Structure 1
């Protein structure tokens, strides 16, 4: 089958599946919500999703790491107060200031997209929807299948560091499952979403505890592949404050694309983060990991999980607003935030 036909079939199948799931969303999200709603100053209709797509395409051509950055941003936004772009707000003691978010980046890029859309059809498109659309398009640029996203979210007005409670890189799998379940995401949703770790890097501080004195045993984590262990010990010497990083997907040919390679690698003991490695070992998830590693439908299922993530506790109607600037509540002022990157919470 020709690739365009495959892509079309995938998009149609996903659309049909998620139209049937609309009742599970918080509020009334829609596929194609912005169709016909954006007209430029000359009265011509503009395709909002195409504007976002072209901006992402241009950014990806010079910075492939934007895929991991946006995946992380969407996760961190949706897991705290729902998918409402509250992570973007520059307010005292806002979500940006919480330790897990100090290394999130991409704020400037979302603001860049927002500015272009505001210059075309002001007051129409939410920052929350821009995050979800841009993340989808970045994933697609990384050679992963395209998936449709529902839109119609409004932006939240509240952003507090105290609300930021994200799963840590060393969280036990059962606790991770409980955290995802609390957001109405199933265990298999969680497994696929953690497949987002097929792109991006982790710095030494997030896994160094596994290399020398794992859980106060005086020995390295026994679940780690010995070849990988030696490599990481060289990269991150004991008792050092090295800021070196390692690819989360240890297949060098696939570490820049969102694909099933991550699951193949953790089955070989090549998980960098403790939670990633435990996915392949825990009785709750190991069979799913094995199935995904041997499957041909990763892109479809990953897209399905991302759409469910994008529907977590969204705000619609009077519950939110359409910001003029993503960094500020109903204000044209504000800056676009930090631009540094790490991975996970």
Structure 2
């Protein structure tokens, strides 16, 4: 799974001055703001003029073979940007015998389908054949995420480029830097703020759940034993509850089973996700919280009413997300020729 025409200036001021923003997070934000000015839409116009056509072609071909690749790649982009910034570090493979696993092998990333990594490798190989040693894996990932969003009916937005690839990848950094299925609104606001993102960004980026799937283990507690009551979550539509129980039995038999975030239009990138939240059709506890919390409910309602507004907001927020923790120069990054290997 960042911008903000709807966010309250007072709230934003609170988020960025609250005592729970650590000095390390502040430095991360400042670094992102300093780096993003180097990103431009035409960054590769002279050095790799066919870059966008190559990535788009590979994405469209992969979508025909494996539709699930789209949501997986978008999730891959979110997880990359939230851990050490948008630097392609999630693509690096763990070194055999190393005590520290790479990001992709963290427990929270193991559910990302391998197709997402494969599409970036395929696109990178084709780009390298035309423009060797020029384009970063981080930029290819940002482009692929945009292309899949558009291929599924979502907005087409310009992607600024010029990111360098990160030189480190640590699984130990993942858990504390990404949202979880049971995250509260306060949890998510704190996390998003540490990346320079706002309440509005949180709600808009959550709209990526318009597509994609979640494993049973991420919501099974809502079906049978919500908050230790031995009863289902009352904030779930009974018809959805019945359907999910068929797929996800309480004890065993659901390993590897997935169900769509969006129960109505699971393969279309649209604003039905927000409409579903109003009808108690949110899948994760973190999804339903967006409608129940008075701080985020008005934004959910506004985006549910107007798909064009959602598309406009989402395009802006994706641009803002793509600026998080950008790295530039040999001191901080590299241009990897193979995305899985640090040079």
Corresponding pairs, count: 299
**Structure 2 partner of 1:26:** 35
8 Å Cα contact 2:192-2:202 kept in structure 1: yes
Rounded Cα–Cα distance in structure 2 between residues aligned with 1:114 and 1:160: 22
Q: Tell me, which stretches of 5 or more residues in structure 2 are unaligned?
A: 1-31, 96-100
**Structure 1 partner of 2:98:** none
Greater mean alpha carbon deviation, residues 55-64 or residues 187-196: 55-64
> Which of 122, 129, 138 is 1:119 aligned to?
129
Offset, 1:64: 2.0
Rounded Cα–Cα distance in structure 2 between residues aligned with 1:174 and 1:286: 14
Rounded Cα–Cα distance in structure 1 between residues aligned with 2:300 and 2:34: 27
Rounded Cα–Cα distance in structure 2 between residues aligned with 1:249 and 1:25: 37
8 Å Cα contact 1:83-1:311 kept in structure 2: yes
1:75 aligns with 2:78: yes
**Structure 1 partner of 2:104:** 96
Rounded Cα–Cα distance in structure 2 between residues aligned with 1:193 and 1:119: 34
> Which of 233, 241, 246 is 2:245 aligned to?
233
TM-score normalized by structure 2? 0.85
1:210 aligns with 2:222: yes
Offset, 1:62: 2.4
> Which of 129, 137, 140 is 2:150 aligned to?
140
1:52 aligns with 2:55: yes
Offset, 1:63: 2.2
TM-score normalized by structure 1? 0.84
Task: Write out per-residue CA displacement over residues 84-119 of structure 1, whole angstroms, 9 at most, x where no aligned residue.
Answer: 000010123111111001121311110111001111
1:260 aligns with 2:310: no
| Larger helix fraction of residues | 2
Offset, 1:25: 5.7
Rounded Cα–Cα distance in structure 2 between residues aligned with 1:63 and 1:239: 30
8 Å Cα contact 1:177-1:187 kept in structure 2: yes
8 Å Cα contact 2:47-2:134 kept in structure 1: yes
8 Å Cα contact 2:88-2:141 kept in structure 1: yes
Rounded Cα–Cα distance in structure 2 between residues aligned with 1:31 and 1:97: 32
8 Å Cα contact 2:94-2:105 kept in structure 1: no
